[in-house]
Amino acid sequence: MLAKRIIPCLDIKNGRTVKGINFVDLRDAGDPVELGKLYSQQGADELVFLDITATINKRKTLSDLVKKIAKEINIPFTVGGGIRSVEDANILLQSGADKISINSAAVKKPNLINELAKNFGSQFVVVAIDAKLIDGEWKVHLNGGRIPTNLNLLEWARECEDRGAGEILFTSMNNDGTKKGFENNMLSKMSDQLSIPIIASGGAGAMEDFYDVFTDGKADAGLAASIFHFKEIEILDLKKYLKTKGITVRI
């Protein structure tokens, strides 16, 4: 069995790590380079860095930050935010990123997924999907959750896989920052319908939440932010707990 992955996520705004609740009310959580280095040392399997203002401000993700991060860590890391072309992705790859994450740009230009997979390979392409349960249906949202669309979550996830995405990073906007657990019901449905790995995001608050997301939610990886940033849960302690519960993890 493939080991389940624990992935800290660093949302970047103006060069600093921030964290909010339900995508708003952001507060400072530290220097992204230092946090990335710390998580690498603590046993994180991967890292995700998302420049959450890149799309809003119509600017590119800063490649120099990626270079600084690459120098300090020895685990794979994914970078997202403001990537709208093969050229944008190539800059990040050349700067040291192992994968890139696209979100709004993929919805606006779905063929971008095909182009990135063709140029770099599917393993390089993560499609992040922010979705919210509205009137009984999961709807995809853009621009850091600010713009709702009519896209159905499962239909869009299947299309992303068909176009060459190597992984789906699904964030439940309803659960984000609430620390009440992941959206395991939808994650399980997604896992049953897709063959590519699914990274679960939004709602982690306790070690039990990770056990539940790997069993009930059938996720391949659990991603979290504030519980790691503010030292509510240590990564090594979490992995030891999961191992005692029969979950395959790397320690």
Beta bridge partners of 21: 24
Among the options 11, 88, 209, 220, which is catalytic? 11
> Shortest CA distance to 56 belongs to which of 23, 20, 28, 7?
23
162 an active-site residue? no
Query: What are phi and psi for residue 245, nearest 5 degrees?
Result: -90, 5
Among the options 51, 88, 130, 220, which is catalytic? 130
28 an active-site residue? no
Cα-based angle 141, 143, 148 (whole degrees, multiple of 5): 30
Name, in order, each residue with C-beta under 8 angstroms of 120's C-beta and a sequence gap of 6 or more: 89, 90, 93
Range 3-24 burial, b when 16+ CB lie within 10 A, else e: ebbbbbbbbbbeeebbbbeebe
Residues with catalytic roles: 11, 130
